[in-house]
Amino acid sequence: MFVHGLRECPKCPKHGALGCSKPELGPDNGLLQVTDSPVPLPDDFPTTPAFDDHQHLIGYVDAAHANDLRNCRSTTGMPFFFPMQQLPTAPNYNLSPPPAQLKLNLLLLSFLPKLHVIFASSSMNLVTHNLVQHQFTTTMYWPSK
Amino acid sequence: MINSQIPTERSRHIDIQYFAIQTWKENGDIIMHHIPGILNPSDDLTKPLGWVLHSCHARRLMGHYN
């Protein structure tokens, strides 16, 4: 029984009373109760491969493609372990640029030698500076035919 | 990508700077091993896993066990 606070009794609303109700139990989904002790692994769980050289950094990497549907980016996870100290470093996430952005970069790079023809010479420094600053990811300077 | 010394059909769009990993392998700076995803703790950082695998990888990342 959990006391949610002072409120009107639902059975007799005209009398102010302390309302008590049972907590709503969730469906029995078969999950174990979370405790502070490590979760026991299944018996058939494979063991972690042991590396002979225990004095070097060990890193794991994995990537999932296009998890970010809105920006169309893939995710890369890279945790690193110091085996001697049994101390993992902070895991690192990396979001790669979307494929369309990469294509745009390559197209802009292919147009780069012709920029002095496309743009006026007075604005050449500004254009180059902005292209480097935006890492060739903007369409502001897309040459018009 | 590491074992082939030239850009392959699938890695031709990767920037040339990332091919330095081939040099690292030649020099012996890194050693690459393939492990299944069920043992890879980085799976927890990239994929939605089930309760057992997530608990295993998360506790290993936090240093609860090796």
- Is the pLDDT assigned to residue B30 strictly greater than 60? yes
**Which residues in chain B have their CB less than 8 angstroms from residue A62's CB?**
37, 40, 42-43, 45-47
> What is the reported pTM?
0.47
CB contact under 8 A, A88 and B60: yes
**What secondary structure letter does DSSP report for B18?**
G
What's chain A look like in SS3?
A: CEEEEEEECCCCCCCEEEEEECCCCCCCCCCCCCCCCCCCCCCCCCCCCCCCCCCCCEECCEEEEEEECCCCEEEEEECEEECCCCEECCCEEEECCCHHHHHHHHHHHHHHHHHHHHCCHHHHHHHHHHHHHCCCCCCCCCCCC
Residues in Cβ contact with A89 at an 8 Å cutoff, skipping those fewer than 6 apart: A79, A80, A81, A82
For residue B24, the distance in angstroms to the closest alpha carbon of chain A comes to 14
* pLDDT digits 0-9 by tens, A104-139: 444 444 444 444 444 333 343 444 444 434 433 333
For residue B14, the distance in angstroms to the closest alpha carbon of chain A comes to 10
Nearest-by-CA chain A residue for B38: A46
- Which residue among A49, A87, A91 places its CB closest to the CB of B63? A87
Tokens of A65: 């493609």
Tokens of B11: 């890695």
Q: Which residues pair with A62 in a beta bridge?
A: A77
Question: Radius of gyration (Cα) for chain A, nearest Å?
Answer: 30
pLDDT tens, residue order, chain A (145 aa): 444 444 555 555 554 545 445 555 555 555 555 555 556 666 776 666 666 555 677 788 888 876 667 777 777 888 877 665 555 555 555 555 555 444 444 444 444 444 444 433 334 344 444 443 443 333 333 344 4
pLDDT at res. B8: 72
